[in-house]
Amino acid sequence: MKGKHLNFSVAGMILALIGLIAIQFFWIDRAVTLKEAQFEQSIGNLLYSVIQKLEQQEALKEVQNHPLGSSMFYKSGSNRLKIDLKNNPDSSKLEYRIKQEQIKDTLGSFIRNRKTTRHLISDKDGIKIESSPEQLDTLLSLLSEERLNSMQFRTNLVDEVVNKWFSYAFYQNINQRVSATELDSMLYTELRNRGLKATYKFGIFNEKGESAFDVICPVHGLAQPVQNAYQARLFPNDVFKNPYFLYLYFPNQKTYLLRTMWVLLAASGVFILVIILVFSRTVLTVIRQKHLSEVKNDFINNMTHELKTPISTISLACEALTDGSVKKSEQMKSSFVEMIQAENKRLGVLVENALRTAVLDRGQLILKKDVVDLNQIVSEAVSNIQIQAKQNQSKIELQLFKGALKSSVDKVHVTNVVYNLLDNAIKYSGANALIKVKTDLKSEKVLIYVSDNGPGITKENQKKIFDKLYRIPTGNIHNVKGYGLGLSYVKAIVEKHDGTITVKSQLNKGTTFIIKLPAT
């Protein structure tokens, strides 16, 4: 995939991801908003119900405090008249219901304000007549004098109760009409009936913010009005008295609502996290595959050039030896044979390095460890590469630790590690390079230093030089042979020996590789 196409694809995936997450957050916000609206509606209904019950209880108390009680009986002959005062929340007028065998006078609730009185008279057959004078006269003419006397008695009684009720409501203070304890119990019951378990506080205040209670409820009491509290007017039918308002406040409302939605929020969070992780993994995989494709192409090109040179050299030497038209001395034949052997050995090293890397990748490498002196291994590696250093007009200085450096290692692979580091130092330092090799023992660790005075490595490349197939870019200059397997092999072998390898380098000031292996 070309770089431009890859960039467009990644950009499109990022935009799609951002859009998907934005939509998810939008729906979460809508869900929270809907939950808040439902909560507010439920609290509004709750306050209406509480205020209505307070008015009903106040009316019922006045009726019950009447000397005759809430139910009164009047006997006349075989008939019995019963007055039962009840609250009718659907009416704003006073009703009288009269039946032949059991006459009931029901005191309706006064909501908003007291209006004209309506007389509803029903007999056992269900006849209902509104209270216009003509209708009332018609009904009264049908009733016996005994029933009229009974009805007049009950009417006077109800009027007396109603008048006392209005007098009570007018002259009583708000804290005498409402008990904080009863109101708290009523609010608690209403909240639980609606499935709400949020922590709440309440209070009753006038328009000036003054509390109606001398003593604040210790648990749920509210000392002063709160801006975010829900409020509703108490006793809205009191026309001539200063209004008082019931405040209901939920200090942890937001937290409570979110807690009730934790399943939705948790699931959404998990889905968003999974989407981000999968997207990130996908983008990284695409980028990594693109990088590996580029590295693979570079490796093939480098390997092709590395193999082409010895193959061409061997081919030319073979042609020279088999060409009968050219007279060849024994010395010339020996020179061609040595050339073929050297190039063949070079091919073997290239193939062996590639095979070693493949074995490491598959995890099939088995180390044959023995306790050896690392000073000896380092000395052998330096000795083997001296010819190559002289050809490059480079010098190698060796400083060994005074004493044995025993460690349990695979001698062949550790020798290859030191040899690779020396080979890189010679190749990348150029002509007349000075390479220093040093061994040491610190904190039960054997240390091997390989330093050069070459061009150095940038900090960015220092993070990548141990990656497989990675080569430091040199622009259009290809004067250094290699295919990016050496240092990845070095790191893999060192780590298999429970060791570490680090690099210290500055541009134009050389490079130092430090190997640490456990001492025995």
* Domains in the chain: boundaries: 3-61+175-260, 65-171, 367-518
Range in 143-147, 242-246, 418-422, 472-476 with the lowest mean pLDDT: 143-147
Mean of per-residue pLDDT scores for the chain = 75
DSSP 192-245: HHTT-----EEEEEETT--BS-SS--TTTB-SS--TT-EEEES-TT-SSS--EE
Whether 296 has a pLDDT exceeding 80, the answer reads no
Q: What is the mean pLDDT of residues 248-257?
A: 88
CATH number of 367-518: 3.30.565.10
What are the strands, taking DSSP E only, across 338-417? 369-373, 395-399, 406-410
Give the chain's length.
520
Q: What is the DSSP letter of 221?
A: B
Give the CA count within 13 Å in the CB-facing half-sphere of 52: 14
Identify the band that residue 515 occupies on the pLDDT scale cut at 50, 70 and 90.
very high
Q: Are 169 and 240 in contact (CB under 8 A)?
A: no
Q: Which residue has the higher pLDDT, 65 or 517?
A: 517
Half-sphere CA count of 44, side-chain side, radius 13 A: 6
pLDDT surpassing 70 at residue 44: yes
What is the token pair recorded at 81?
A: 């008249």
**Looking at the predicted structure, is the pLDDT value of residue 89 above 60?**
no
pLDDT range class, residue 84, cuts 50, 70, 90: very low
Q: Is the pTM of this model over 0.75?
A: no
Asked if the model's pLDDT at residue 136 lies above 70, the reply is no
473 — pLDDT class (breaks 50, 70, 90): low
Report, as an integer, the average pLDDT of 19-26: 87
